[in-house]
Amino acid sequence: MNPSDPELRQIGQTDLWVTPVAMGCWPITGITSLGVDEESSLATLAAALDAGINFFDTAYCYGYSGESERMIARALGAHRQQVIIATKGGIHYEQGKQVRDASPATLLRECEESLLRLQTDYVDLLYLHAPDPQVPVAESASALRQLLDSGKARSIGASNFTLQQLGEFAQVCPLSAYQPHYNMLQREIEGEQLPWCLEHHVSVICYWPLMKGLLAGHLPRDHVFEARDGRQKYPMFHGVEWHKTQDFLDVLRPIAAEVGKTVAQLVINWTIQHPGITAALCGAKRPTQIQDNAGGMNWNLNAEQLSRINAAIAARGQTVSRGAV
């Protein structure tokens, strides 16, 4: 990694520099994604690196027994010094259901387990995956501060936080990154969290830039979801919201063709060009997907194209929001 590379972006005020497109490593576990197998997942991780991505995002709970972290170790272990690995603690599975536990003892234990799975002595960025309503934010932050001070985490982040929770966390532990959902049609953070992060030099590393694949433009208007497809639980994949987004994609397609990019690449580029967004986490389970996503960086939409896209966004309107956890 060369910080002088104009395409790399700094995480907070750290010495960590990342590509603006990162690989989100939830889909490779296959828990809610269909058609996933280990061979393809490992190949996708390798393809991301080959495509120029140096930033990989996982979590303790990505997989029922840490499959995502284990695959990252297998695929990228030989390149540890060339990649930035982020993981998260505070959520785990019990009998197939996610459970939040952000108590200090649990966060310390999960970090140790994540390091073993990743086969590394440190993680570059460690997030509190989500606030635990049973544990004060300051108590969770104190555990992550301990991991930062010990060198087991090079930087600390928080995910799925309110503005108040960000402030409470930062009073106890230096905060380098914030991870919310954010995309063209889900922009709530622009009201409070994004301005706060800009003011406090906290990187915003967003998930769902493609709205769980919907904004990639590959799902036809008459698409029928398989029973196991986890996207069906989100309102954006049904009824009026679904058809409004399909109409919106019809507006984006000619703009993408004009710049010689796919719809997914156009959407990703719009996201990472937005002020305050350091990187976008793009999930993938096949090499072709992450290769397409990587094509969203290293170029820029011009002012006229951005204006047309923003007009289309305004005409479409925001959609019903619901985070990943």
Question: In what helix (H) or strand (E) does residue 178 lie, and over which residues does it extend?
Answer: strand 177-179
Residues in the chain: 325
∠291-293-298 over CA atoms, to 5°?
95
Instruction: Exactly one of 60, 62, 182, 207 is catalytic; name it.
Output: 62
In the residue annotation, 182 being an active-site residue is answered as no
Distance CA 206, CA 211 (A): 11
Distance CA 269, CA 7 (A): 13
- Tell me whether strands 91-94 and 97-100 are parallel, antiparallel or unpaired: antiparallel
Tokens encoding 311: 């007009």
Distance CA 321, CA 202 (A): 23
222: burial class by Cβ within 10 Å (0-12, 13-18, 19+)?
A: exposed
Distance CA 31, CA 17 (A): 30
Q: Residue written as tokens 């063709």?
A: 257
Chain centre distance of CA 266: 17
Q: Give just the sign of the alpha carbon dihedral 70, 72, 78, 83.
A: negative
Tokens encoding 154: 């090079």
DSSP assignment of 208-225: -TTTTTGGGT-S-TT---
Contact in structure between 100 and 133 (CB atoms under 8 Å): yes
Q: Which of 280, 183, 213, 243 is nearest to 34 (CA)?
A: 213
Contact in structure between 140 and 119 (CB atoms under 8 Å): no
Give the residue numbers annotated as catalytic, written as ranges.
62
